[in-house]
Amino acid sequence: MSYDIAVVPGDGVGREVTPATVRVLESLDVPFSFTEYEAGDGTLAEAGEALPEVTSQGVESADATLFGAAGESAADVILPLRETVGSFANVRPVRAYPGVDALQPETDLVFVRENTEGVYTGIEDEITEGVTTLTRVVTDDASRRIAAFGFDYAEQRGADVTVAHKANVMRVTDGQFLDSVRAVGDERGAEYDELLMDALAMHLVQRPADFDVVLCPNLAGDLLSDLAAGLVGGLGLLPSANVGTDNALFEPVHGSAPDIAGQGVANPAATMLSAALMLEWLGEDEAGRRVRDAVEGVLSDGPRTPDLGGEAATEDVTEAVVERL
Amino acid sequence: MSYDIAVVPGDGVGREVTPATVRVLESLDVPFSFTEYEAGDGTLAEAGEALPEVTSQGVESADATLFGAAGESAADVILPLRETVGSFANVRPVRAYPGVDALQPETDLVFVRENTEGVYTGIEDEITEGVTTLTRVVTDDASRRIAAFGFDYAEQRGADVTVAHKANVMRVTDGQFLDSVRAVGDERGAEYDELLMDALAMHLVQRPADFDVVLCPNLAGDLLSDLAAGLVGGLGLLPSANVGTDNALFEPVHGSAPDIAGQGVANPAATMLSAALMLEWLGEDEAGRRVRDAVEGVLSDGPRTPDLGGEAATEDVTEAVVERL
Ligand SMILES: CC(C)[C@H](C(=O)O)[C@@H](O)C(=O)O
Ligand SMILES: CC(C)[C@H](C(=O)O)[C@@H](O)C(=O)O
């Protein structure tokens, strides 16, 4: 038996950091079988569609997917792929790494972002010329599901939960979100704080160390996690997991970085850390820990790519990670 | 002839910083006539409504309004009052002040936030049990109006414009917003950048000095301006203007701060700086500049309230500002 992993390198630096990460996974004693699929701007140009059916099918039937990055067509690729794996939770750990310049070095938190509804439902219309609407949807089912996931996740880590919302303005929809979260929290006797998302944005900037697990509606999670990325030196190091019931997709938070793509100097750390999340999700906790430790070791005293002030190539970093495994 | 100013102290520290600011305004040689109106949690408890009709009418017929802060009932007070003055633009200058601890001391930017639509329209429904919707509205009219305002504002200051959006996901509505902004920008030959609001959140944290005027849809402006407040030491110093065609309301960005209310130590700077914006809006530029200079002078070497590490009372700061006028 081996794990079937769909690998979707995508565009730009995705095509460099994904093979580097596969190399690391192949150095473990975990049985994998990798199948590569195309998606993104390049595929759109060549095949006329950013996300071919064969890629969706490959992702659907795989045990898990490792995704690189997409360019202009990102939303056309990653949103349907998240749906394909049935992802209801987008998990984004954000922390400062030793030796990496950070505005707020104490940052160590995890966003648990609702990943199916809010303003991401695609229900939009032009009602009459120049008058457009979008239907933001919040359901009890999806809110309870993400709440249960978030409270479980926090409990496993002994972490505190903060719930982000804007129920003073979005009274019915974020009111529903809060009601559902409260119902789940009460059932479990969980303790947690509720905070208006605008106030949270300020507090995250000022005292990120006070937050552990932040449970967010979809768009709030998108914005707040990028904000937090700024506190630890950018998106370059941040991994993420899109988790469904029996499938999941793992991707770095960064994009395709066309400015440095093709030079062989992209930082593979975020993708490798995403692979560590994938290993844990597959139940290979020990291997996940080994990958994370190796990447963190290299980040703190190994070769560095130019984004971290070094001169190393992607390959040098990959070599160093493999050696440390 | 004198300016009719409606004064709405509201709750908590609003009741301390508003009279302090009126005191400063009365020390100028500008003819004012002030009328005080009630609103907020206290009013709700006493009169059964957070925003009595007499207050709305007073605000409507005044030349301008100075607002303090509201507590739990903030949304029930400030959103209708913004509507009462016909506010379509919420203007929020965010900068670090000399002598005040800031995470990013180079920050000096202004949010121009659309103030009538987006997710603030209040069109919400429970479609069936546990399924709720909110209708986000974006129109060409409102988008063009805020764009014209933002480009004018930037031109007067020789400032660059960045337009925040999430049109990769909210394709129709933020697509409309972008189309309208582009139409207005093209008419004027204005140069500006467009940036996804999640990426902007990260860049604001990392390099706020690169931004001048940030033009935002309603909720994005709410979140991003609070984020920026975190970069300069919190909301305590930030003024704001809610600008309509022939009426306007000025308020500090901070809330009613129940933890320190009633002790006479609230920092009046944000409200005084809001009054400076009011003076400028009334065409009293010289007086506006005097108030701002006096407040900044006191912030940099005068008495300080406890939020800035000092031991001064609101009254001491007010005295010092009046002396410097
Ligand atoms: C590309 C875009 C659709 C996506 C999102 O909004 O979720 C991205 O910003 C992210 O956070 O992964
Ligand atoms: C109180 C609330 C309705 C308001 C808003 O969301 O606009 C506040 O957060 C603000 O930014 O002034």
- What confidence tens digit (pLDDT) does each residue in A139-149 have? 999 999 999 99
The pLDDT of residue B97 is above 90: no
Nearest CA to ligand 2 atom 8: B222
- Distance separating alpha carbons of residues B53 and B43, to the nearest angstrom: 12
Pick from B135, B198, B222: CB nearest A135: B135
For residue A233, what pLDDT band results from cuts at 50, 70 and 90?
confident
Is-contact B3 B288, C-beta < 8 A? Answer: no
- Are residues B169 and A119, on separate chains, in Cβ contact within 8 Å? yes
Instruction: Please name the member of B130, B135, B222 whose beta carbon is closest to the beta carbon of A139.
Output: B130
Query: Which residue, among A205, A210, A254, A259, would best test binding to B if mutated, counting the most B CBs under 10 Å from its CB?
Result: A205
Q: Does residue A113 have a pLDDT over 80?
A: yes
What is the chain B residue with the closest CA to A232?
B206
A97 catalytic? Reply is no
Tell me the domains of chain B and their CATH numbers.
1-97+234-324 (3.40.718.10), 103-231 (3.40.718.10)
Mean pLDDT of B188-196: 96
Specify the pLDDT at position B236: 81
For the residues of A40-97, what is the DSSP string, one character each? Answer: SHHHHHHHS-SS-HHHHHHHHHSSEEEEEE--TTHHHHHHHHHHHTT--EEEEEEE--
Mean pLDDT of B273-296: 98
Half-sphere exposure of B65 (CA within 13 A, CB side): 34
Ligand nearest to the CA of A119: 1
Which residue lies with its CA nearest to atom 11 of ligand 2?
B222
Which residues sit with their C-beta closer than 6 Å to ligand 2? A 168-169, 198; B 74-75, 78-79, 222
The answer to whether residue A166 is catalytic is yes
* Radius of gyration for the alpha carbons in chain A, expressed in angstroms and rounded: 19
- Nearest ligand to the CA atom of B252: 2
Give pLDDT, residue A197: 97
Q: Is the pLDDT of residue A180 over 90?
A: yes
Beta carbons of A137 and B132 less than 8 Å apart: yes
Query: From ligand 1's centre to the CA of A58, what distance in Å?
Result: 22
From the centroid of its chain, how far is CA B74?
14
Assessment of whether the complete model's pTM goes beyond 0.85: yes
- Is the CB of B170 less than 8 angstroms away from the CB of A235? no
Separation between Cα atoms, residue B124 and residue A312, nearest integer Å? 53
pLDDT (0 to 100) of residue A1: 81
Confidence of residue A115 (pLDDT cuts 50, 70, 90): very high
For residue B1, the surrounding DSSP H or E stretch is none
- The confidence band for B136, taking pLDDT boundaries of 50, 70 and 90, is very high
Q: What is the mean pLDDT of residues B66-86?
A: 97
Among B202, B214, B232, B256, which would you mutate to test the A interface (most chain A Cβ atoms within 10 Å of its Cβ)?
A: B202
The Cα B35–Cα B66 span in angstroms is 10
Q: What is the mean pLDDT of residues B82-107?
A: 94
Q: How confident is the model at residue B109 (pLDDT cuts 50, 70, 90)?
A: very high
CB B149 within 8 Å of CB A198: no
Counted across chains A and B, CB pairs separated by less than 8 A come out at 163
| Cα nearest neighbour of B72 on chain A | A168
Model confidence at B120: pLDDT above 90? yes
Mean pLDDT of B115-138: 98
pLDDT at A18 over 80: yes
- pLDDT given for residue B1 in this prediction: 81
Q: Say how far apart CA A226 and CA A249 lie, in whole Å.
A: 19
Alpha-carbon separation of residue A233 from A98, B86, B205 (angstroms): 12, 41, 10
pLDDT band at A236 (very low <50, low <70, confident <90, very high): confident
On chain A, the residues whose CB falls within 8 A of the CB of B129 are 140
CA distance A128 to chain B (A): 10
Q: Tens digits of per-residue pLDDT, A259-317?
A: 999 999 999 999 999 999 999 999 999 999 999 999 999 999 999 999 989 999 999 99
**Separation of B302 CA from ligand 2 center, angstroms?**
31
- Whether B234 has a pLDDT exceeding 80, the answer reads no
The catalytic site residues of B sit at: 120, 166, 198, 222, 226
How many percent of chain B have pLDDT more than 70? 100
Atom of ligand 1 nearest to the CA of B166: 6
Higher pLDDT, B22 or B98: B22
Ligand 2 centre from B226 Cα, in Å? Answer: 10
Q: Which two tokens stand for residue A280?
A: 């844990």
Q: Which of A38, A64, A61 is nearest to A51 (CA)?
A: A38
- Averaged pLDDT of chain B: 96
Mean pLDDT of A87-104: 93
CA of A25 to the centre of ligand 2 (A): 48
Q: What is the pLDDT of residue A120?
A: 97
| Residue having the nearest C-alpha atom to atom 7 of ligand 1 | A222
Q: Which is higher by pLDDT, B309 or B136?
A: B136
Under an 8 A CB cutoff, do A132 and B206 touch?
A: no
Kindly report the number of other CB atoms within 10 A of residue B108's CB atom: 16
Q: Which of B133, B137, B223 sits opposite A137 (nearest CB)?
A: B133
Per-residue pLDDT averaged across A153-169, rounded?
A: 96
Question: Using CB atoms and an 8 Å cut-off, which of residues 172-211 of chain A contact chain B?
Answer: 172-173, 175-176, 180, 197-199, 201-206
| pLDDT tens for each residue of B143-180 | 999 999 999 999 999 999 999 999 999 999 999 999 99
In the predicted model, what is the mean pLDDT of residues A20-34? 97
Query: Residue B99: its pLDDT value, please?
Result: 77
Does the beta-carbon distance from B223 to A222 stay under 8 Å?
A: no
Interchain CB distance below 8 Å, A133 and B202: no
Residue A120 is among the residues annotated as catalytic for this protein: yes
Residue B115 CA neighbour count, 13 Å, CB half: 28
Residue B202 pLDDT > 90, yes or no? yes
- Could you write out the three-class secondary structure of chain B? CCEEEEEEEECCCHHHHHHHHHHHHHCCCCCEEEEECCCCHHHHHHHCCCCCHHHHHHHHHCCEEEEEECCCCHHHHHHHHHHHCCCCEEEEEEECCCCCCCCCCCCEEEEEEECCCEHHHCCEEEEECCEEEEEEEEEHHHHHHHHHHHHHHHHHHCCCEEEEECCCCCCCHHHHHHHHHHHHHHHHCCCEEEEEHHHHHHHHHHCHHHCCEEEECHHHHHHHHHHHHHHCCCHHHCEEEEECCCCEEEEECCCCCCCCCCCCCCCCHHHHHHHHHHHHHCCCHHHHHHHHHHHHHHHHHCCCCHHHCCCCCHHHHHHHHHHHC
Decide: A252 and A271 in contact? Cβ < 8 Å. yes
| Radius of gyration of chain B, Cα coordinates, nearest whole angstrom | 19
Closest CB from A172, A199, A206 relative to B134: A172
Q: How confident is the model at residue A16 (pLDDT cuts 50, 70, 90)?
A: very high
Minimum CA–CA partner of B73 in chain A? A168
pLDDT at B226 exceeding the cut of 90: yes
With an 8 Å Cβ cutoff, are B168 and A75 in contact? yes
Confidence of residue A235 (pLDDT cuts 50, 70, 90): confident
Mean pLDDT of A195-223: 97
Give the pLDDT band (50/70/90) at residue A234: confident
Mean pLDDT for chain A overall: 96
Q: Nearest residue on chain B to A233, judged by CA atoms?
A: B206
**Quick check: B132 and A175 CB within 8 A?**
yes
